[in-house]
Structure 1
Amino acid sequence: MASITLNNLVKKYGDGFPAVNDISIDIADGEFIILVGPSGCGKSTLLRMIVGLEDITDGDLLIDGERVNDKAPRDRNLAMVFQNYALYPHLTVYENIAFPLRLAKGKHSEDQVNKLVTEAAATLELTDHLQRKPANLSGGQRQRVAMGRAIVRQADAFLFDEPLSNLDAKLRGQMRSEISQMQRRLGVTSVYVTHDQTEAMTLGDRVAVLKKGELQQIASPRELYEQPVNLFVAGFIGSPSMNFLPATLDGNTLRTALGDLEIPAAKAEKAAGKKVVLVGLRPEFFEDAQLVEDHKRANGTVFTATLTHTEWLGNEQYGYIDFDPAPEVRGLLDNLAREMDADELRPQIVVTLDAASRIRGGREAELWLDTRKLHLFDAESGENLTRDAEAGAELTREANEERAEEIATAQQADGERGTGTGGTGHDTEAVRTGAGHSSGATAAGGKHSAG
């Protein structure tokens, strides 16, 4: 395994446009890092810079402390798993997995090749398919073959470039689970690029959110969700996404298109002096007021609204509220749409309701909002005024500790089954040390130590 350090990396093309702009990240030994963001944000370019397929314009790339800017890809000992599998159709699964070992002529005996291939196949449940050709495999099986080829290389790190985007939704869910379990068993440093936030939130130890070549925030998935650093991160992470409601602040009262919302004094103080703010409301912050117990009502505020329609999903339902923003704040929504890389932002609030709620579209209803959890954003800079940095860092520390325990448990169970780990030789203590680091969040381009 290896640590990977990105020091102020910059990638400029011929026209001088920075596709990657001053990004610094410390990736710990054995850590699983996700690079996520909309199309064109620079995440794939950054991955290609790490593996050596893109030149670095400025900054330093270190692998285990050694500067590798000028090293060829083959000399960096990194294994890449591509979106299109990159399998050889005329070779069997066995020979596809063995291919990188065959390239290193004379380095591995036939017995060693067989041992590495069979161990990797067992890890990925491909043992029964070793003599088949790629054309006879499912998409998920082909992706596992591509991962098997990475495993046998005994690389210092795995780099994944949107490996599941060609699969259907059900298979993506299955493969997410398999990649996560494989990474825990092997404990190998991994960098994974995706535009799918579900993959980002379920796979990574930490997630780096990129926008237009700049790092916005890097933290555990839970910290990103509960303590986003700015409007972009708050709106990008979460499904359905966070609602943004323009408001003016009058003491502890938010004057909004939905009516007056009373908020805790501590939150109001953080936005003091701001003429207009954007209120960040996750759909799950709402509930049918009729279903909220009396002792819980004091933690929020009740307001009246008419829903345009509801969607019943079985375990829950979504309700939709249209609002008419004042002319002076409509421009804020247009700016916010550009911030979120969207064509437009509908003046609409999405709320999550209990499946038992009888609220229906077209009727006036009482809704309860948990005001303890809402966020207030600066309308001009996009900064989260109510972010609690220490609480966010604690969420990431807890996630790291839990992940380290999961890795140790997975490797112990793997050892008891005697399936092997592809000959990687990564022991549990090394993984515990790597995954148990402490980290918080940083604004764009800030150095972020993995400890």
Structure 2
Amino acid sequence: MASITLNNLVKKYGDGFPAVNDISIDIADGEFIILVGPSGCGKSTLLRMIVGLEDITDGDLLINGERVNEKAPRDRNLAMVFQNYALYPHLTVYENIAFPLRLAKGKHSEDEVNRLVTDAASTLELTEHLQRKPANLSGGQRQRVAMGRAIVRQADAFLFDEPLSNLDAKLRGQMRSEISQMQRRLGITSVYVTHDQTEAMTLGDRVAVLKKGELQQIASPRELYEQPVNLFVAGFIGSPSMNFLPATIEGNTLHTSLGDLEIPASKAEKAAGRKVVLVGLRPEFFEDAKLVEDHKHANGTTFTATLTHTEWLGNEQYGYINFDPAPEMRDVLNSLAREMDADELRPQIVVTLDAASRIRGGREAEIWLDTRKLHLFDAESGENLTRDAEAGAQLTREANEERAEEIATAQQADEERGSGTGEQTTSGRPAATVQAGAPRSSGATAAGGKHTAG
């Protein structure tokens, strides 16, 4: 296993454009890092630089403290799992998994090959399929074979390049769970590229959000969600995404297209001196005012709006409210949309309502908003004016502690299963040592700074 250090990495192509621009991240031994961002943000390029498939224009890449910029991919001892599986159609599942062991001629005995392959197959529930060919497997099974091939290599780290994008939604959910459990058991350093919100939020210890080759923020999923550093991160993380509502501020009052919203003085002070701000509102900050308990009303404000329509999902429903921004604010919203790989940000507020709410489209309704949780963003720079950096860092510290405990528990259970059957631990690898209570720093800052995890 390995720690991976990225020191001011830059990748420029022939035209001089920096596809990756001055990215620094410290990935701790055993950590699971997610690289996420819109198409063309540089996440796959960065992954390929780590594994050695792309040259590094500037900066240093270190694996276990050793600089590896000039090392060939085969000498970095990293295992890559690709989007298209990259299986050999004429070989059985067994031989596909064993292929990297056979490639290292003379290094592994036949007994050792058999043990490593069967152990990996057991981990991935492929034992019954070892004599089948890839053409006779489902997409999820093929991806498990690709992961099995990575496991038997006993590599220092796993690198995943959008491995689930070819699967349907149900299989993606199943495979997410399997990858997460496998990484916990093995305790192996992993770097995972995705554009999928759910994968980013559910898999990683920390998530690195990239935009146009630059690192915007790296933190635990919860810190990114609750304490985003800027407009881009706030809008990219979360589904449905955060609503952005232009407003002018006067005292503790926001003047918006939805009406006047009273906000806590502590929030208003952060935006002092700015005429215009963008208000960031998660859909779950809203509720049908009739269903809000009396003691909660003091924690928010109520406004009247007409919903265009609602969508009932069983456990909850979404309501949609259109608003008309000023022309200059529409330009700001459209610019943000282009950064997030969308044509435009519709001037629309999405609200989450209780499934029992009787609010329907076309009717005027009373909506309650929890103003304690809203964010205020500078309309020009995109900076989150109300971000609490220390509260965010605490969320990441807590996530790291919880994750360490989960890994230790998973590995202990794996060892107990192995000792009960007289088998070795998964893939013949000794369990990783994870020290609970030694949290990694969140490093949640804008691009250009150093993001440590130690």
TM superposition score category, shorter chain reference:
over 0.9
Q: Cα gap change, 1:56/1:142 in structure 2, threshold over 3 Å: closer, same or farther?
A: same
Structure 1 contact 185–421 (Cα < 8 Å) conserved: no
* SS of residue paired to 1:432: coil
Structure 1 contact 123–419 (Cα < 8 Å) conserved: no
Deviation at 1:327, TM superposition (A): 3.4
Deviations 1:362-384 (A, max 9, x none): 00000000000000000000000
Structure 2 contact 188–432 (Cα < 8 Å) conserved: no
- Matched with 2:219 is 219
* SS of residue paired to 2:299: coil
Deviations 1:392-435 (A, max 9, x none): 0000000000001111111111112218999x565556233798
Structure 2 contact 230–377 (Cα < 8 Å) conserved: yes
- Counterpart-to-counterpart distance in 1, 2:438 and 2:158: 15
1:135-150 pair list within 5 angstroms: 135-150=135-150
Deviations 1:135-165 (A, max 9, x none): 1111111000000000000000000000000
Structure 2 contact 211–339 (Cα < 8 Å) conserved: no
- Counterpart-to-counterpart distance in 2, 1:67 and 1:421: 41
Q: Cα gap change, 1:137/1:298 in structure 2, threshold over 3 Å: closer, same or farther?
A: same
Structure 2 contact 38–340 (Cα < 8 Å) conserved: no
Deviations 1:260-311 (A, max 9, x none): 0000000000000011000000000000000000100100000000000000
- Matched with 2:429 is 426
- Counterpart-to-counterpart distance in 2, 1:341 and 1:434: 39
Deviations 1:58-105 (A, max 9, x none): 000000000000000000000000000000000000000000000000
**Aligned residues with identical type, % of pairs:** 92
Structure 1 contact 123–420 (Cα < 8 Å) conserved: no
Structure 1 contact 219–441 (Cα < 8 Å) conserved: yes
- Matched with 1:447 is 450
Structure 1 contact 28–435 (Cα < 8 Å) conserved: no
Structure 2 contact 42–213 (Cα < 8 Å) conserved: yes
Structure 1 contact 24–447 (Cα < 8 Å) conserved: yes
* SS of residue paired to 2:23: strand
Deviation at 1:437, TM superposition (A): 2.2
- Counterpart-to-counterpart distance in 2, 1:149 and 1:384: 44
Q: Cα gap change, 1:421/1:352 in structure 2, threshold over 3 Å: closer, same or farther?
A: farther
* SS of residue paired to 1:142: helix
Structure 1 contact 20–214 (Cα < 8 Å) conserved: yes
Gaps of 5+ in 2: none
Structure 2 contact 440–452 (Cα < 8 Å) conserved: no
Q: Cα gap change, 1:426/1:91 in structure 2, threshold over 3 Å: closer, same or farther?
A: closer
Q: Normalising by structure 1, what TM-score?
A: 0.97
Structure 1 contact 403–436 (Cα < 8 Å) conserved: no
- Counterpart-to-counterpart distance in 1, 2:431 and 2:104: 29
Aligned residues: 450
- Counterpart-to-counterpart distance in 1, 2:327 and 2:238: 28
Q: Cα gap change, 1:419/1:347 in structure 2, threshold over 3 Å: closer, same or farther?
A: farther
Structure 1 contact 31–435 (Cα < 8 Å) conserved: no
- Counterpart-to-counterpart distance in 1, 2:61 and 2:437: 19
Deviations 1:90-140 (A, max 9, x none): 000000000000000000000110111111111111111111111111111
Q: Cα gap change, 1:320/1:52 in structure 2, threshold over 3 Å: closer, same or farther?
A: same
Deviations 1:336-369 (A, max 9, x none): 3234332111110000000000000000000000
* SS of residue paired to 1:16: coil
- Counterpart-to-counterpart distance in 2, 1:98 and 1:331: 55
